[in-house]
Amino acid sequence: MDEEICVNNDAWNKAFSFLGPFALGHIIALISGDFDHWVDTHLITKKWSLDSLKICRAKGRNAAEIDKLFVPNGTEVERHLPIPLRPPPANVIGLNICR
């Protein structure tokens, strides 16, 4: 007998609060359509802080890029991001340092 278990969005938000947007979008959303809908809603409503960014010359090109330092699970990871052509979304709320 298949029984459907209903869990509200607040419970999912608490259960997956430790995951960043990449894990939510690329791992959890692939499990089912229900998770996909929840991830879309969660990413739109959550406030994201930029914290600190460094704008520098892109390696091997005559262009600029953004270097963002992430510290997931205590491990430092630096990501090189292109400079966006549009303003940031309204749910991006904080920028502490820009060098």
What is the per-residue pLDDT across 65-81, written as a single tens digit (0 to 9) for each? 888 777 666 666 777 77
Residue 67 or residue 15, greater confidence: 67
pLDDT in tens, 16-66: 666 666 666 666 666 666 666 766 676 666 666 666 777 888 777 788 888
Question: Maximum distance among all alpha carbons in the chain?
Answer: 62
The CB density around residue 4, as the number of other CB atoms within 10 Å, is 5
Q: Return d(Cα 51, Cα 98) in angstroms, integer.
A: 9
